[in-house]
Structure 1
Amino acid sequence: MSVADETGGRAERIRAKAEELKEAAARVSDPQERRRLEDKARRLQERSDQVSAKGDGGTNPL
């Protein structure tokens, strides 16, 4: 397994966890808990994006 494959798999796992948190946030009735879960999901998505960027040779589309 190459480093790029490993990085891609890690990014995918992080994205999946972020999606789970977003879904959980949608089911929670407490506004503070919803916000906490949404924030955590956003941070995980950002981390996934960073991991993906490292896996593609570090090119930054910005």
Structure 2
Amino acid sequence: MSVAGEDGGRAQQMRQQAQEMEQAAERATDPAERQRLKEKARRLKEQSEQQGSMGSGDIDPMA
């Protein structure tokens, strides 16, 4: 598998984890836990977007 393909798979996996964390945050009854999960999901999404753009070679300098 190519490096770009591996990065794309990793980015997809990170997005899936972020989605699962967001769902867990929605179910959390403790406000602090909900906030922690949402923040972690947001960071994972950002990382996955960076991974995806680095893997594709499509880096926008204006972003």
| Corresponding letter in the other structure for 1:6 | E
TM-score normalized with structure 2 length:
0.92
State the identity %: 50
- Residue of structure 2 equivalent to 1:19: 19
TM-score normalized with structure 1 length:
0.93
- Residue of structure 2 equivalent to 1:56: 56
After the TM superposition, which residues 39-54 of structure 1 pair with which residues of structure 2 at under 5 Å, given as runs?
A: 39-54=39-54
| Corresponding letter in the other structure for 1:14 | M
Shift of 1:58: 4.6
- Residue of structure 2 equivalent to 1:37: 37
* Deviation sequence 1:27-55 (CA, Å, 0-9, x none): 00110000000000000000001101111
3-state DSSP class of the match of 1:8? helix
Q: How many residues align?
A: 62
What is the alpha-carbon root mean square deviation over aligned residues?
A: 1.1
- Residue of structure 2 equivalent to 1:6: 6
| Corresponding letter in the other structure for 2:29 | S
